[in-house]
């Protein structure tokens, strides 16, 4: 009985091992296989080129320019050497580059890791040599040339990748609108965007040339006779640089970049000392103010008393020297001949009076000479007007040529393009028909004729 049970358990283990081995061989056998290759035609809705549905092995690119572009766009997603097989040709790669360098670059390229992670998502879908491991073509449309053009696919990715991608791009700012870029890229969900909402909008047929249905799994997925491994390429954190000499996302676009303090920490200020519960300096300055007021008042009182005593003494001396003939006379002015300050004042006044009388007499006696000399002096002192220039450039007005800010600005302009302020551009259109749009939720929206795609392209 024990032997039969042992044989049954061994057979069960052997069957399980054979099953998993077959699964592994089935998945590994699909590596290096493509399900989309080359461009079939133009999608009539988006006017973008769509690929052909074709099960062919991955092949390396032979165009050196295309290999460089592949490394530039997808170098962080998979191996992009000259002999590395890929599932896209030169034309698909060029179209991918044009799409990644369009609105996505304008909105997200200020955060390099965010843009690179998003580029990896589409690079894996378009060019990965293991494309058949996570891409399933579900619908096609036959073209006039008899080719099967892809109209709908299922893209298997891990939920961790979608969450990581969204977390890296969630806080990237759009300075021109003073909002987050994800609000614009999330379509109808706006500020209520989530990782799945974002990918669902980007996978919608328009803006995408074909419908992309993202499927979220954390392990192998069995669909019919095919096993798919969800795409889970590495996510570069927004606080890290993409290249060794590159820079991480700024603190504004990536809160994780704000962990390192940008400024040195200073010790806290010393505690204030108090007297009777009042700040000590207030008490000290109050006493100083009171003492100053008392000193001024005492000085004023003493000077008043001393001045009155001197005046009384002078009056007594004057009254003792008055003759009988002067008793009835009126003295309009008081005699200060004994005061030294008065004597100095009288002397200066007389000298100034004599000086100005002499100058006035000379000017009145020789008017022509005086006017001529004055005109000559004005002309001499006005010679600087010949070199006078009106400066209207604010940089020249408010920044010295040798200042540090001026040197940094000149360096920036000589190595990069000059900085210009962002201006608003208002576009109007005369005539035209309203634009009607049906959302993925079958909601009818009507826009003005200004949003006609052909008009905007023109």
pLDDT tens, position by position, 12-25: 544 455 444 444 43
Q: Give the integer Cα–Cα distance in Å for 190 and 183.
A: 4
The two beta strands, 221-223 and 435-438, are: unpaired
Q: Any residues with CB less than 8 A from the CB of 115 and at least 6 apart, and which?
A: 104, 105, 108, 109
Give the helix/strand (H/E) hosting 173: strand 173-174
* Residue 288 belongs to a domain: no
Cα distance between residue 126 and residue 93, in whole Å: 8
Q: Is residue 119 part of a domain?
A: yes
The residues near 64 (Cβ < 8 Å, ≥ 6 apart) are 82
Distance of CA 354 to the CA centre of its chain: 74
Per the DSSP assignment, residues forming a β-bridge with 221 are 228
- Per-residue CA distances from 132 to 82, 106, 128, 156, 205 (Å): 22, 31, 9, 10, 21
pLDDT at 420: 60
CB atoms under 10 Å from CB of 117, counted, come to 27
| pTM over the 0.85 mark | no
Where is 282: in which H helix or E strand? Answer: helix 280-320
| Predicted local distance difference test score (pLDDT) of residue 454 | 81
β-strand partners of 143: none
| Residue 358: Cβ within 10 Å count | 10
| 411-416 own/partner pairs: CB under 8 Å, 24+ apart | none
pLDDT at 406: 87
Of 166, 183, 165, give the one whose Cα is nearest residue 174.
183
Position 23 scores a pLDDT of 45
Answer whether residue 296 is part of any domain.
no
Q: Is residue 266 part of a domain?
A: no
Give the per-residue pLDDT at 421.
58
Q: Which domain holds residue 160?
A: 26-258
Question: Of 236, 235, 237, 239, which Cα lies nearest the Cα of 257?
Answer: 239
**Per-residue pLDDT at 263:** 57
Instruction: Record the tokens describing residue 106, joined without a space.
Output: 């304008």
Asked if residue 391 belongs to a domain, the reply is no
Per the structure, the count of domains in the chain is 1
The dihedral formed by the CA atoms of 394, 395, 400 and 404, expressed in degrees to the nearest 10: 140
* Residue 395 within a domain: no
The answer to whether position 65 is within a domain reads yes
Q: Which residues pair with 90 in a beta bridge?
A: none
CA atoms lying within 13 Å on the CB side of residue 102: 9
Instruction: Report, as ranges of residue numbers, the positions in the chain whose pLDDT lies below 50.
Output: 1-6, 8, 13-15, 18-29, 322, 326, 328-333
Query: What is the structure's pLDDT at 423?
Result: 62
Q: What's the confidence (pLDDT) of residue 17?
A: 52
Q: State residue 309's pLDDT score.
A: 66
CB 150 within 8 A of CB 52: yes
The rounded distance, in Å, linking the Cα atoms of 112 and 75 is: 14
Tokens of residue 436, six digits: 């009607």
DSSP 340-378: HHHHHHHHHHHHHHHHHHHHHHHHHH-HHHHHHHHHHHH
Burial 155-178 (b: 16+ CB within 10 A, else e): bbbbeebbebbbbbbbbbbbeeee
User: With b meaning 16 or more CB within 10 Å and e meaning fewer, what string describes 420-434?
Assistant: eeeeeeeeeeeeeee
pLDDT number for residue 364: 92
Inside any domain, residue 431: no
Closest CA to 441 of 239, 166, 200: 200
Nearest CA to 187 out of 167, 171, 173, 207 is that of: 207
Rg (CA), the chain: 46
């Amino acid at each position: 009985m024990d032997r039969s049970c042992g044989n049954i358990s061994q057979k069960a283990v052997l069957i399980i091992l054979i099953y998993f081995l077959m699964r592994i061989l089935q998945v590994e056998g699909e590596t290096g296989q493509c399900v989309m290759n080359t461009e079939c035609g133009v999608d009539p809705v988006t006017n973008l080129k769509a690929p052909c549905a074709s099960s062919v092995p991955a092949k390396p690119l032979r165009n050196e320019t295309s290999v460089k572009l592949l490394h530039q766009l997808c170098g962080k997603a998979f191996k992009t050497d000259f002999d590395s097989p890929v599932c896209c040709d030169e034309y698909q790669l060029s179209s991918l580059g044009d799409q990644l360098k369009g609105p996505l670059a304008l909105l997200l390229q200020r955060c390099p890791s965010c843009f690179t992670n998003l580029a990896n998502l589409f690079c894996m879908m378009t060019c990965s040599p293991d494309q058949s491991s996570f891409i399933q073509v579900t619908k096609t449309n036959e073209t006039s040339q008899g080719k099967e053009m892809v109209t709908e696919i299922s893209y298997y990715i891990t939920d961790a990748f979608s969450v990581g991608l969204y977390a890296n791009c969630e806080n990237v700012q759009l300075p021109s609108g003073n909002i987050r870029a994800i609000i614009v890229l999330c379509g109808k969900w706006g500020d209520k965007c989530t990782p799945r909402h974002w990918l669902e909008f980007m996978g919608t047929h328009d803006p995408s040339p074909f419908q992309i249905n993202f499927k979220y799994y954390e392990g192998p997925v069995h669909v019919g006779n095919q096993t798919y491994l969800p795409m889970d390429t590495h996510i570069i954190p927004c606080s890290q640089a993409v290249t060794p000499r590159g820079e991480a996302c700024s603190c504004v676009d990536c809160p994780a970049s704000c962990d390192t303090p940008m400024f040195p920490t200073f010790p806290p200020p010393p505690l204030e000392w108090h007297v009777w519960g009042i700040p000590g300096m207030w008490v000290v300055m109050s006493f100083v103010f009171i003492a100053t007021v008392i000193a001024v008042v005492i000085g004023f009182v003493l000077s008043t008393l001393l001045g009155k005593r001197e005046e009384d003494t002078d009056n007594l001396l004057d009254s003792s020297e008055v003759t009988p003939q002067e008793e009835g006379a009126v003295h309009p002015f008081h005699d200060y001949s004994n005061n030294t300050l008065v004597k100095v004042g009288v002397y200066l006044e007389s000298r100034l009076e004599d000086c100005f009388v002499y100058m006035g007499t000379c000017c009145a006696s020789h008017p022509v000479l005086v006017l001529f000399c004055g005109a000559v002096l004005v002309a001499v002192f006005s010679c600087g007007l010949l070199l006078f220039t009106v400066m209207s450039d604010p940089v020249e007005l408010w920044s010295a040529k040798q200042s540090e800010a001026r040197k940094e600005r000149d360096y920036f302009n000589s190595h990069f393009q000059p900085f210009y302020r962002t201006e608003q551009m208002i576009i109007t259109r005369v005539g035209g028909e309203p634009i009607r749009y049906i959302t993925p939720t079958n909601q009818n929206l009507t826009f003005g004729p200004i949003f006609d795609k052909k008009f905007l392209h023109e």
